[in-house]
């Protein structure tokens, strides 16, 4: 049985790219899961969670099991982090870096791989930890010794591999949140028995570190379907701040959601939009 999932962050209204991802995930899954990635409490909003349900209902896309809500699962993430800590695979990092904020909901970019390792050699200092804000980072060199270099298979059968330089000391728990995107994503995919991770090609750079975490935590290896991204016809990305291609705006304009989902499932797009590789 193929288990797929759709895992939006409720930080804005869903747009056409999300609808494509959800339609593809639904069509590929005998069992299709919905997960709300709301760990970033600063940016997540209840009305956007409602918007996700509303938009999926409009598209006629149904999910099979109770919705998994990450903010309700923090104890599970903490336990996994502790297990990694007991094995000496993570260290506390006290650096104040504005881009740390990216690690939670914006897995794009190279903030994780560019961390210079300042706090890695520090001995554990519980007193400092008790008084100073800190995040937890993966000691990637140690992790790779155990896990080996990561590789994965895409749904079309192609194999991908990553080099050590693509695996940085990623943040596994943020200063202000008990987990990070990478850690909670692999824990939840495994907990839901996800066999195919369907998501946009912009998230492919997250896959090496997530494969490492799966190896460290003894989780099964899913197949990945990193799909093309939906852009405006002229190649501009769909941004959450763009109002035009939100599903809410399409619905208001009288578009039939079920027909739209059918079109997307066939790999086609409405006029005015195009696919790009990343
Ligand atoms: N929550 C992420 C996003 O909305 C997706 C994570 C994933 O599919 O792995 O970009």
Residue-level pLDDT at 169 = 94
Q: Residue 105: pLDDT above 60? A: no
Q: Is 30 helix (H, G, I), strand (E, B) or coil?
A: coil
Residue-level pLDDT at 264 = 98
Is there an atom of ligand 1 within 6 Å of 192 CB?
A: no
Handedness of CA 253, 254, 256, 257 (dihedral sign): positive
Residue-level pLDDT at 242 = 67
CA of 36 to the centre of ligand 1 (A): 9
Q: Residue 4: pLDDT above 90? A: yes
Distance CA(19)–CA(246), nearest Å, equals 9
Residue nearest to atom 6 of ligand 1 (CA): 7
CA of 127 to the centre of ligand 1 (A): 35
**In this structure, what token pair is assigned to residue 243?**
């109002």
CA of 229 to the centre of ligand 1 (A): 13
Q: Exposure of 270 by Cβ count < 10 A (0-12 exposed, 13-18 middle, 19+ buried)?
A: middle
Quickly state the pLDDT bin for 165 (edges 50, 70, 90): confident
Distance CA(166)–CA(186), nearest Å, equals 18
CA of 258 to the centre of ligand 1 (A): 23
Q: How far is CA 55 from the centre of its chain?
A: 20
Distance CA(238)–CA(63), nearest Å, equals 25
Say which residue the tokens 């000691």 belong to: 139
Mean pLDDT over residues 25-46, rounded? 96
Q: Residue 93: pLDDT above 80? A: yes
Q: Is residue 6 within 8 Å of residue 21, measured between CB atoms?
A: yes
Residue-level pLDDT at 98 = 63
Give the ligand 1 atom nearest the CA of 37.
Answer: 1
Residue-level pLDDT at 99 = 47
Quickly state the pLDDT bin for 104 (edges 50, 70, 90): very low
Q: Residue 262: pLDDT above 60? A: yes
Q: Which of 17-26, 117-126, 240-249, 250-259 shows the lowest mean pLDDT across its residues?
A: 240-249
Beta strands per DSSP E along 129-241? 135-138, 151-153, 159-161, 171-173, 196-200, 223-227, 229-232
Is there an atom of ligand 1 within 6 Å of 37 CB?
A: yes
Give the ligand 1 atom nearest the CA of 18.
Answer: 4
Quickly state the pLDDT bin for 239 (edges 50, 70, 90): confident
Mean pLDDT over residues 161-178, rounded? 91
Residue-level pLDDT at 245 = 84
CA of 199 to the centre of ligand 1 (A): 7
Distance CA(36)–CA(215), nearest Å, equals 24
**In this structure, what token pair is assigned to residue 50?**
């409602």
| Exposed e or buried b per residue across 65-91, where buried means at least 16 C-beta atoms within 10 angstroms of its C-beta | eeebbbbebeebbeebbeebbeeebbb
CA of 242 to the centre of ligand 1 (A): 19
165/77: higher pLDDT: 77
Is there an atom of ligand 1 within 6 Å of 28 CB?
A: no
pLDDT digits (tens, 9 = 90+) for 181-228: 999 999 999 999 999 999 999 999 999 999 999 999 999 999 999 999
Q: Which of 110-119, 133-142, 160-169, 216-225 shows the lowest mean pLDDT across its residues?
A: 110-119
Mutate which of 32, 181, 189, 194 for ligand 1 pocket (most atoms within 8 A of beta carbon): 181
Residue nearest to atom 4 of ligand 1 (CA): 8
Residue-level pLDDT at 96 = 80
Q: Which residues contact 262 (CB under 8 A, 6 or more apart)?
A: none
Residue-level pLDDT at 75 = 97
């Amino acid at each position: 049985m193929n288990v797929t999932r759709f895992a939006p962050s409720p930080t804005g209204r869903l747009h056409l790219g999300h609808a494509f991802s959800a339609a593809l995930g639904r069509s590929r899954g005998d069992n299709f899961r919905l997960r709300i990635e709301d760990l970033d409490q600063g940016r997540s909003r209840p009305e956007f969670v409602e918007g996700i349900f509303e938009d999926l209902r409009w598209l006629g896309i149904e999910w099979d099991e109770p919705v998994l809500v990450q903010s309700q699962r923090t104890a599970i993430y903490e336990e996994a982090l502790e297990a990694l800590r007991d094995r000496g695979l993570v260290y506390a990092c006290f650096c104040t870096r504005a881009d740390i904020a990216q690690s939670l909901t914006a897995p794009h970019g190279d903030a994780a791989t560019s961390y210079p390792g300042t706090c890695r050699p520090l001995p554990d200092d519980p007193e400092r930890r008790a008084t100073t804000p800190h995040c937890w980072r993966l000691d990637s060199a140690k992790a790779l010794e155990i896990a080996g270099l990561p590789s994965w298979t895409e749904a079309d059968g192609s194999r991908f591999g990553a080099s050590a330089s693509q695996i940085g000391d990623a943040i596994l728990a943020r200063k202000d949140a008990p987990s990070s995107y990478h850690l909670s994503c692999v824990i939840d995919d495994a907990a839901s028995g996800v066999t195919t991770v369907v998501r946009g090609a912009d998230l492919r750079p997250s896959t090496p570190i997530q494969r490492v975490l799966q190896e460290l935590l003894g989780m099964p290896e899913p197949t990945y379907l990193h799909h093309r991204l939906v852009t405006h016809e002229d190649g501009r990305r769909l941004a959450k701040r763009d109002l035009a291609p939100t599903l809410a705006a399409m619905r208001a304009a009288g578009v039939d959601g079920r027909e739209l989902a059918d079109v997307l499932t066939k790999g086609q797009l409405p006029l005015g939009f195009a696919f790009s590789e990343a």
